[in-house]
Chains A and B, each alone.
Chain A
Amino acid sequence: MSKKIILVDDSVTARQQVKTALRGGDYEIVEAIDGDDGLAKIEQHRDAALLICDVNMPNKTGLELLNVLQDRPGPHMPIVMLTAEVQPDLLQRAKRAGAKGWIVKPFKHDLFVATVRKLVGDA
């Protein structure tokens, strides 16, 4: 059975890049266009194996979304942040709010796929 990945990013281009990178794998990608949409999709797909979440987004930033999730009862899926630039403070806070790690955009496809595989337990 294909693994479900929730992808929250307000940029169509960024979402397309993620989908292109993961095209060869057996994944079902659920897309969300901002923080609020992300929370709704997470609620609908509690069985998702991974949450890939942008940092700067309208209607709840990535960090705000993580803070909401933290207060919700588990189980929690692994979370990886997508960011255009390394902002140490923000990443520290994201980590404290449950993020496993981060991927800097633009990313190399093979490294991105390796990260996803490791986080969903395919590696």
Chain B
Amino acid sequence: MSGSREMRLVLENVGDALFTVDAHGVVGAERSRASERFFGAVPASGSVCEWLAATDAAAAAWLDVSLGALWDDVLPVALALEQLPQSMTDRKRHFSLKYTPIYESGLHSVLVVAADVTSMVEQRRSDGVQRDVVAALRHVVSDRAGFEDLVSEVRKLLLRMLASPDAIEIKRVLHTLKGAFATFELQALAAKAHDLETMIVERERRPSADEMGELAGSWEIVDGATRSVLDLLRSRVAVPDAVLVGLASDAQAIGGSDLAARIRSLRCQTVHTRLARLADYARAVADRLGKPNLEVVCACDDARLPPEPWLPFWSALVHTVRNAVDHGIESPDDRVRAGKSPHGTLTLTARAQRQSFAVEVRDDGSGIDWERVRTSANKVGIAPVTPEELEQVLFLDCVSTATEETDISGRGIGMGAVREACEALGGRVIVRSVPTSGTTIRFEFPPADV
């Protein structure tokens, strides 16, 4: 293969735009195929400025005037090269530009290498916006009211900016936006506003609709990410813990012990949150076991419990829920054969009453097969006689009625753990099972714990 053919193949296949520009600003005939793919066909005049102006008119004009300086031989070549444009963009694609002087008894031409860096620029931009989202969420949590003010101010300012024909007004709006963004550590947005402001100040040019739209688009991402969190928080009031404790002791002092207890309970977790989490878990287990569309009913009042002492009970209650879905509720086929709807229903209840606080897990399955419980007990050398003794077997770690041990249940450990956790809180467990109708496991606690 001849040298020139080899070079031709290189130019046809290299990913970057490679071309030379001479002292008259004319593009050399030998150039890589990517050059035209990036910037379109070179015009008949061969003028680099005219050619690149279709992609980025400002960068092309800059290149034109700066290339001239290179051949003027007034500035040092190193400075003249450094002052050439280092990038260009048509806003959809971004290119980096590098220059190498070519000498042949004096400066002959400049080799220009343009690389498509669009994905890198976009990645950097999206990283910046993501950092702004994190900063925004931090402020939503620490200073919700302040952030809400920012949101309403920014929305108004952006509308004013996009609608204004007046560069001076746009500059003023951008300056205000920049300050507002910076106050909330939204660095990428502040930098973007600053760039647009600089464009007006130094180039005396009104930013284009696209350029302003880019700023508005980045704000939309931050606004959208924080909106759902703000909506959630808007219906709540955050009070420092110390204030709540002080309020409760004030109520106690004026003899309102009921009120004091209610105030103290605000520091506790709602039982509803716990039940909702268990309900999600039950549905997921049912799906995995081929018992789809499990209906989970949560019924509870606004009881609140201190998180610390109750944590072991809620953790252990998972076993009860799992057993109900795995062993209690039958497969869709079995349910249809028994004249039931194909999907089961699990009811999770938590209610505070005058005499007690009770949590119930009820399924509408086949009920406990007591004969199987007896057989399982016999296998490990236990011979229950009374119904009470038989019920106790359910809570023995070594006994499982499951026919096979799965990753979901079957080791017979869970029921013992939940009873232990219940009793640690001064509670007791009551089992009610009706053949073909289902099973209810009820945990009753003294009212003082609620």
B159 at the interface (CB under 8 A from A): no
Most buried by A among B78, B79, B203: B79
Partner of A102, one of B78, B83, B85: B83
CA distance in complex: A96, B75 (Å): 16
Query: Is there contact, CB below 8 Å, between B83 and A104?
Result: yes
Rounded to whole angstroms, the CA-CA distance of A119 and B80 in the bound complex is 14
B72 at the interface (CB under 8 A from A): yes
- Shortest CB–CB separation between residue A16 and chain B, in angstroms? 20
Q: B65, A118: Cβ atoms under 8 Å?
A: no
Contact B62 A86 (CB under 8 A): yes
Instruction: State the Cβ distance, B199 to closest chain A Cβ, in Å.
Output: 9
A92 touches B (CB below 8 Å):
yes
Q: How far is the CB of A49 from chain B (nearest CB, A)?
A: 14
Task: Answer whether A108 and B74 are a contact pair too, CB < 8 Å, given A88-B61, A88-B62.
Answer: no
Q: From the candidates A85, A89, A92, A111, name the one contacting B82 in the complex (CB within 8 A).
A: A111
Over the window 74-108 of chain B, the binary record of Cβ atoms lying under 8 Å from chain A Cβ atoms (1 yes, 0 no) is 11101110110100000000000000000000000
With both chains docked as a complex, state the minimum distance between the C-beta of B214 and any C-beta of chain A, in angstroms. 19
In the complex, whether A68 has a CB less than 8 A from a CB of chain B is no
Which residues in A have their C-beta under 8 angstroms from that of B74? 100-101, 118-119
Q: Across the interface, do A114 and B76 meet the contact criterion of CB distance under 8 Å?
A: yes
Question: Which residues in chain A, 61-112, are within 8 Å of chain B measured between CB atoms?
Answer: 84-89, 91-92, 95, 100-104, 108, 111-112
Contact A101 B69 (CB under 8 A): yes
Among A87, A101, A103, A104, residue most surrounded by chain B Cβ atoms (within 10 Å): A101
Interface string of B201-227 (1 = CB under 8 A from A): 011000000000000000000000000
Which residue in chain B gives the minimum CB-CB distance to A91?
B65
A22 to chain B, nearest CB (A): 15
| CB atoms of A115 and B75 under 8 A apart | yes
A56 at the binding interface (Cβ < 8 Å)? yes
Residue of B nearest to A119 (CB): B74
CA distance A91 to B64 in the complex (A): 11
A103's partner among B62, B64, B72, B79 (CB-CB below 8 A) is B79
CA–CA, A111 to B82, complex, Å? Answer: 9
| B66 sits at the interface (CB 8 A) | yes
Q: Decide if B76 touches A88 in the complex (CB within 8 Å).
A: no
Whether the pair A88, B202 counts as a contact (CB closer than 8 A) is no
Give the complex CA separation of A91 and B85 in angstroms: 14
Chain B positions near chain A (C-beta within 8 angstroms): 58, 61-62, 64-66, 69, 72, 74-76, 78-80, 82-83, 85, 198, 202-203
* Cross-chain pairs A/B with CB under 8 angstroms, 25 sampled: A56-B202, A84-B202, A85-B203, A86-B62, A86-B66, A86-B85, A88-B64, A91-B65, A92-B65, A95-B65, A100-B74, A101-B72, A101-B75, A101-B80, A102-B69, A103-B79, A111-B79, A111-B82, A114-B76, A114-B78, A114-B79, A115-B75, A118-B74, A118-B75, A118-B76
The 4 closest A-B pairs by CB, nearest first: A88-B61, A114-B76, A111-B79, A101-B75
For the complex with contacts A100-B72, A119-B74, 16 further pairs of A-B residues with Cβ separation under 8 Å are: A84-B202, A85-B203, A86-B62, A86-B65, A86-B85, A87-B203, A92-B65, A95-B65, A101-B74, A101-B80, A102-B69, A104-B83, A111-B78, A111-B82, A114-B78, A123-B76
What residues of chain A have their CB less than 8 Å away from a CB belonging to chain B? 56, 84-89, 91-92, 95, 100-104, 108, 111-112, 114-115, 118-119, 123
